[in-house]
């Protein structure tokens, strides 16, 4: 197989490849033998960096995929008769093929939102039937940060949700597949928007921020991690050659690479949205706070664009599309894309 | 982190790193954007090579881990009220923390064996209660090839098991974490020892034969793969950046790399066992047919050796240890190890 | 314990006891020994009556409870990656503590309705993502007949749903905890509103129509029942002394007892709603088509009434209550209750 | 249907009907309306009697079936990555169609025994791999009392198992489908052989001792019952018309009916075994300590006997049969049966 000239894409931050520094870390980790399953110096180093970033008594477990991280983290926080509350646009609700229900046994109780963001006011009505055995028992509020709609919870909004959760004997789970984009957007540390804001369990994303594979399940309440190593193994997410996930996270958490990657992606989204907003036929539909741009593009133009660029139609009824930027999106990519849009809409 | 001087190991083929050609394929695959989740040319190429190797109408799905491959492949072949029959030493029985029961709902029914190998005669007694609703219903025979004991089923032995299975309305599943070592050992093609021998579902191993991560679930009866893409996703084993698993398998199946790696590991095991067998205090306990050597080493010597080499004590009662070789084991590794053994036992 | 003078209740048809003819059948079935688990003449007789009523090639399995019937019937119709679509008021969604998700692995996808009734127009929007592995795959439409809101689907409405289902490769499941009330309401046979209307799987209710315990899972497509006896046993719903469920169903299906019980309950609901409707402070909120009456009763009156009568507040925000009648509700019960209401509202 | 002249049976204590006093209690409970799901005076009374018998802080939950009681009780005591250790003859292992694995997610780890009885010495070897994530983690020892082989654990034997369990951070579960027969056999109170002997969770049998349906899950450590009402409901074992299970247990625990029924059944087994033992061609194979008799009857005689009596062949290879007596077995039943045996073997 020879290197192929790949189409540029705004489909997903998953369509990008691996950041060179992360790839380099992988290559360097490929030296000799180490004990499998995580008892190695790469893993020790990565875990230390996580704790430096997020707090000393943070429990961190690496898994293969984002769905794996969500499902296993949620399992650690629930009994099968619990309810997990989330926005109806949540990845755990629409994009994981029912994995959360399948592995936790729980019901997902969903709330419609305009911007993908939950608020206590939207959740209050779901706290009925507590103690009544006919009904699933509310236990976890799960939010995505940044959201699937490209929006970002402020620290205050997270705190409000965390307070609401803890006052009602609930836990706050964050699907942080794009947690880095949120931190950058808020200009806060990772710790400030998670532990310090009251988050209990976090899926910390790697693949959408320049890694090849690997996500982390992060517990801010260590007792939630009791037995989690067994849950991870039984959930078939214990990597044998763990060092290669660890080396990636180590690189991501070195020299603020996580921040640089996310900042770049966010900046590209800003530019893209600004350019698109300047085209009269196009309407930006969500605040652009992270690395996603939602825009209504007149229906007949979409297939023409898709011939040259991968991207998804989010809502076909109104011809709303989703455009994602990533650590490797270039200003040139955007220029060319916008130029094409301008030409087409004329 | 700087490259560390790793201890050499006979603990597991998982303690080795990645074969340079596979690492190189990963690096080359990191070019530009491709569609996530497998709709890319790397995956297309790898799937084609699998079909070239195993037959045209073979259905192949990549997953992250060996436990994932076993569990998802077994799920595809069963209803929750089924029984999966295996040797009591089977990886699915002892080394997957109950993942098969958890994900399939099935009972594992086990048979003690001397050498890790099932035979129809050992299974006949388990075919009772068929049709009786109080009892789990036999459905799958699962064997490991090569076995956890370092032994290898001959083609005839597999055929006998496949015939026995099919005559009793059962399926034959192979945990092929080390299928390459078996093919090399038998001097047969991968196809000859799987499809042509009557295997229905195969976990095709990557990580134990020089890959970084990635295994394949292989269906020789395409109808068993109906809906499997949903099962894989719901089982949280759909890789977003699939190209990096695919590129590895592509490299493994190019220029017979799979065979070279396995042949080397097998040869190292032969040398190791021969050397050890020449030491009077040591007794080889299993036929050395693949890349594992089982040996009784007097109890007091074990901790001394373990100070310098990773390896596992298999049966502490008789001080039986397991020594695994891998694609990167060197004759020098063995010489040094054996020399140390000789010095210690004196 | 001596017989107690029980409070009369409009809380649920579950608060009633057992119809005397059914109790008598139980007593008569208590003669000598029969083979356990259903290989007895009582079961044979009951099954025959079910087939006489619903069609020759109907597969019928008795279970203990309504939740058991729903969960096991849905399991028989689904793979874990499927979606089950239902009204958001459905018993399977709100009153079974997540049992359907737990046992089937499926996601329940819900639709808000005014009257508890699904329509194809409400479901069309849910048929997206078919074939896309990120999303649960629509497989079952589950309706309740009569509904949790006391309404009844007409035969035409069921046919429309069945056609919609079958045209989209879906199955139609009916939670028939109150199927008898619906048949009586429509003045149709049980067969006309199930098999002949296109229903695939039915939970046939016993306990809400005068039985002590016992429900039936009914398959109109026999192939859906393949292996169901194992699913029932593994789901822990195989009764050892099966004859006592069977004798009850036998009695229920003898001399149209099912119809008489349901007709009585429905008639009582009509009378009750008519009387309540004549009180200006009270507003009936749903059509009274079966044995449930939904009414808004001014908030301050509710606790006063509840001192003497069991019933549930359905929607506390608008002070809507649910009043259920049963086979043993008397006109005198209603008179007394309405008299009390009249006195209180003055 | 008219009352049928049933064949007498030694097949199972499940083939018997309902004790007249229990049936009478059911009939008397059928008076007026009571709140469904257990908030009624029958349930309150039965629970009080359980606590009188077993200790004040005992938590008791009624379910429909013995499999339900086992599965739900085990779920309350385990996480999915746990191992449940039992005799290979245990009902949970061979007669529940994999329900324990399906609902708990756990692996059942089995031990062969001669007499169906576990001992610490048989279990010690299973306590390996504790803390190692590749292996299921031992958590519950489950024994049957009386056993499936008709034998009975002494109080000392239970205490030894309980001590062994608690010293190893395990729990002791008892499948007490025939707990009454064991208590009578040992001439001890129910409390003495359960709570006072160190049992943690008990399935308390009803149906095999004269009830129509209904078993109880009994927790001697109240904290194990946290959330159990939700587990019971989600497990579809919450009876709507709970009073009818409760009334049966109330009757069973009134005037020592449980003891009388079991004592009678045990006495019948003693007589039966004594008579059979006097026939030279027949060999009793297990101690007769409860209500089961295991005997080798020459192969050709079995079908002749089965023409007139239901009973099961336990081990066809040696023609060992199982004969069960029940609360309603008569001396005349035994005389006739033995007479037939004598005539046949001549």
Residue of D nearest to C4 (CA): D31
D102 close to A (CB below 8 A): no
Q: Do B233 and C80 touch (CB under 8 A)?
A: no
Q: C314-318 long-range CB contacts below 8 Å, 24 or more apart?
A: none
| pTM (whole model) above 0.80 | yes
CB contacts < 8 A, C to D, total 203
Among the partner residues D137, D230, D231, nearest to A230 by beta-carbon distance: D137
Please list, in sequence order, all residues whose beta carbon lies within 8 angstroms of the beta carbon of residue A26, skipping any fewer than 6 positions away.
Answer: A18, A212, A244, A247, A248, B23, B26, B212
Chains with 3 or more CB pairs under 8 A to chain D: A, B, C
Question: In A22-160, which ranges are E strands?
Answer: 59-63, 82-87, 107-111, 137-144
CB contacts < 8 A, B to C, total 42
Rounded CA gap, A84 and A201, in Å? 13
CA distances from B252 to A311, B326, D135 (A): 32, 15, 30
With beta carbons under 8 A apart, name residues in chain B contacting D135. 94-95, 97
B17 close to A (CB below 8 A): yes
Among the partner residues B4, B41, B213, nearest to A213 by beta-carbon distance: B213
Contact D9, C36 (CB under 8 A): no
Average pLDDT, chain D: 95
Q: Do B98 and D108 touch (CB under 8 A)?
A: no
C102 close to A (CB below 8 A): yes
**With 0-12 CB in 10 A as exposed, 13-18 as middle and 19+ as buried, what is B124?**
exposed
Low-confidence ranges of chain B (pLDDT < 70): 1-7
pLDDT of D179-203, one tens digit each?
A: 999 999 999 999 999 999 999 999 9
The number of beta carbons lying within 10 Å of the beta carbon of residue D93 is: 23
Contact A200, A221 (CB under 8 A): yes
pLDDT of C134-177, one tens digit each?
A: 999 999 999 999 999 999 999 999 999 999 999 999 999 999 99
- Chain centroid to CA B118: how far? 16
Provide φ and ψ at B155, rounded to 5°: -60, -40
B311 close to A (CB below 8 A): no
The whole-angstrom distance between B128's CA and the closest CA on chain A is 29
D156 close to B (CB below 8 A): no
Alpha helices (H) in B203-317, listed in sequence order? 228-234, 243-252, 257-277, 301-306
Instruction: List the structure tokens of B169.
Output: 């309305």
Q: Do A80 and D232 touch (CB under 8 A)?
A: no
Mean pLDDT of D106-128: 96
The whole-number pLDDT of residue A9 equals 80
Which helix (H) or strand (E) segment is C216 a member of?
strand C215-219
**With 0-12 CB in 10 A as exposed, 13-18 as middle and 19+ as buried, what is C300?**
exposed
Q: Do A133 and D229 touch (CB under 8 A)?
A: yes
Give the position of tokens 């490797």. A328
pLDDT of A184-243, one tens digit each?
A: 999 999 999 999 999 999 999 999 999 999 999 999 999 999 999 999 999 999 999 999
Give me the interface pTM, i.e. the ipTM: 0.96
Q: Do D98 and B108 touch (CB under 8 A)?
A: no
Residue of C nearest to B231 (CA): C81
With beta carbons under 8 A apart, name residues in chain C contacting B227. 79, 81, 137
D101 close to B (CB below 8 A): yes
Rounded CA gap, D145 and D139, in Å? 19
Strands ordered across the beta sheet of C137-144: C59-63, C215-219, C201-204, C171-176, C137-144, C82-87, C107-111
With beta carbons under 8 A apart, name residues in chain C contacting D27. 23, 27
Beta partners for residue D59, in sequence order: D219
Contact C200, C173 (CB under 8 A): yes
Rounded CA gap, D132 and D155, in Å? 34
Q: Do C133 and B232 touch (CB under 8 A)?
A: yes
CA distances from A318 to A302, A322, C120 (A): 12, 12, 22
The whole-number pLDDT of residue D2 equals 36
Please list, in sequence order, all residues whose beta carbon lies within 8 angstroms of the beta carbon of residue B215, skipping any fewer than 6 positions away.
Answer: B62, B63, B64, B65, B66, B68, B69, B177, B203, B204, B205, B206, B207
CA A222-A228-A229 angle, to 5 degrees, is 120
With beta carbons under 8 A apart, name residues in chain B contacting D83. 98
The whole-number pLDDT of residue A1 equals 32
Contact A225, A219 (CB under 8 A): yes
Q: Strand B320-324 relative to strand B292-296: parallel, antiparallel, unpaired? A: antiparallel
The whole-number pLDDT of residue B258 equals 98
D322 close to B (CB below 8 A): no
Residue of A nearest to C135 (CA): A97
Among the partner residues A11, A33, A66, nearest to B16 by beta-carbon distance: A33
The whole-number pLDDT of residue A7 equals 66
Instruction: List the structure tokens of B144.
Output: 């490991």
pLDDT of A61-116, one tens digit each?
A: 999 999 999 999 999 999 999 999 999 999 999 999 999 999 999 999 999 999 99
Rounded CA gap, A278 and B84, in Å? 62
Residue of A nearest to C107 (CA): A98
CA D194-D198-D202 angle, to 5 degrees, is 45
Q: Do B80 and D98 touch (CB under 8 A)?
A: yes
Instruction: List the structure tokens of B269.
Output: 């095991």
Rounded CA gap, B171 and B138, in Å? 9
Provide φ and ψ at C148, rounded to 5°: -65, -15
pLDDT of D274-319, one tens digit each?
A: 999 999 999 999 999 999 999 999 999 999 998 888 899 999 999 9
% of chain A beyond a pLDDT of 90: 92
Q: Do B1 and A36 touch (CB under 8 A)?
A: no
Alpha helices (H) in chain D, listed in sequence order? 20-29, 41-54, 66-77, 91-94, 99-104, 120-123, 155-167, 179-186, 228-234, 243-252, 257-277, 301-306, 331-345
Alpha helices (H) in C168-242, listed in sequence order? 179-186, 228-234
Please list, in sequence order, all residues whose beta carbon lies within 8 angstroms of the beta carbon of residue C268, skipping any fewer than 6 positions away.
Answer: C291, C325, C326, C329, C330, C331, C333, C334
Rounded CA gap, A55 and D24, in Å? 66
With beta carbons under 8 A apart, name residues in chain C contacting B238. 133
Rounded CA gap, C83 and C193, in Å? 24
Q: Do D95 and B135 touch (CB under 8 A)?
A: yes
CA B265-B268-B272 angle, to 5 degrees, is 140
CA distances from D293 to A280, C36, C181, D296, D319 (A): 89, 19, 50, 10, 14
With beta carbons under 8 A apart, name residues in chain D contacting A233. 81, 133-134
DSSP state, D310? B
Rounded CA gap, D194 and D207, in Å? 19
Residue of C nearest to A136 (CA): C97
With beta carbons under 8 A apart, name residues in chain D contacting B135. 94-95, 97
Contact A28, A222 (CB under 8 A): no
Rounded CA gap, A327 and A329, in Å? 6
CA C232, C237, C240, C245 torsion: positive or negative?
negative
Among the partner residues C81, C133, C229, nearest to B133 by beta-carbon distance: C229
User: D5 falls in which pLDDT band (50, 70, 90)?
Assistant: very low
Contact A203, A73 (CB under 8 A): yes
Q: Do A236 and B65 touch (CB under 8 A)?
A: yes
Mean pLDDT of C282-307: 95
- Residues present in chain A in total: 346
Contact A17, B30 (CB under 8 A): yes
Give the position of tokens 């000598």. C32
Q: Do B80 and D102 touch (CB under 8 A)?
A: yes
Q: Do B101 and D105 touch (CB under 8 A)?
A: yes
CA distances from C34 to D15, D209, D334 (A): 5, 16, 17
Q: What is the largest CA-CA distance in chain A?
A: 62
B80 close to D (CB below 8 A): yes
Q: Do C134 and A94 touch (CB under 8 A)?
A: yes
Which helix (H) or strand (E) segment is B313 a member of?
strand B312-315
Identify the residue among A28, A240, A251 best suited for mutation to test binding to B, counting B beta carbons within 10 A and taking the highest. Answer: A240
Mean pLDDT of D40-58: 98
Q: Do B230 and C79 touch (CB under 8 A)?
A: yes
């Amino acid at each position: 197989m020879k290197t192929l000239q790949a189409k540029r894409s705004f489909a997903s931050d998953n369509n990008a490849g691996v950041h060179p520094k992360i790839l380099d870390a992988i290559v360097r980790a490929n030296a000799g033998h180490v004990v499998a399953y995580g008892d190695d110096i790469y893993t020790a180093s990565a875990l230390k960096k996580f704790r430096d970033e997020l707090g000393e008594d943070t429990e961190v477990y690496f898994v293969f995929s984002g769905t794996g991280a969500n499902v296993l983290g949620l399992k650690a926080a629930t009994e099968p008769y619990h309810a997990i509350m989330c926005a109806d646009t949540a990845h755990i609700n629409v994009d994981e093929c029912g994995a959360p229900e399948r592995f936790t046994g729980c019901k997902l109780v969903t709330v419609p939102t305009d911007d993908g963001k939950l608020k206590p006011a939207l959740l209050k009505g779901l706290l009925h039937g507590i103690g009544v055995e006919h009904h699933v028992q509310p236990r976890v509020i799960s939010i995505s940060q940044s959201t699937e709609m490209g929006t970002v919870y402020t620290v205050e909004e997270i705190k409000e949700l965390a307070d609401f959760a803890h006052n009602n004997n609930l836990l706050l789970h964050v699907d942080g597949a794009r947690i880095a984009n949120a931190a950058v957007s808020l200009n806060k540390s990772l710790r400030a928007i998670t532990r310090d804001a009251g988050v209990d369990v976090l899926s910390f994303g790697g693949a959408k921020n320049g890694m090849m594979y690997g996500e982390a399940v992060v517990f801010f309440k260590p007792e939630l991690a009791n037995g989690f190593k067994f849950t991870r193994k039984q959930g078939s997410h214990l990597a044998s050659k763990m060092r290669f996930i660890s080396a990636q996270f180590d690189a991501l958490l070195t020299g603020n690479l996580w921040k640089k990657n996310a900042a770049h992606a966010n900046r590209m989204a800003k530019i893209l949205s600004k350019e698109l907003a300047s085209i009269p036929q196009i309407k930006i539909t969500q605040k652009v706070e992270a690395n996603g741009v939602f825009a209504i593009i007149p229906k007949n133009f979409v297939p023409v664009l898709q011939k040259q660029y991968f991207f998804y139609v989010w809502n076909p009824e109104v011809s709303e599309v989703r455009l994602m930027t990533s650590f490797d999106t270039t200003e040139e990519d955007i220029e060319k894309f916008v130029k094409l849009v301008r030409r087409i809409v004329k």
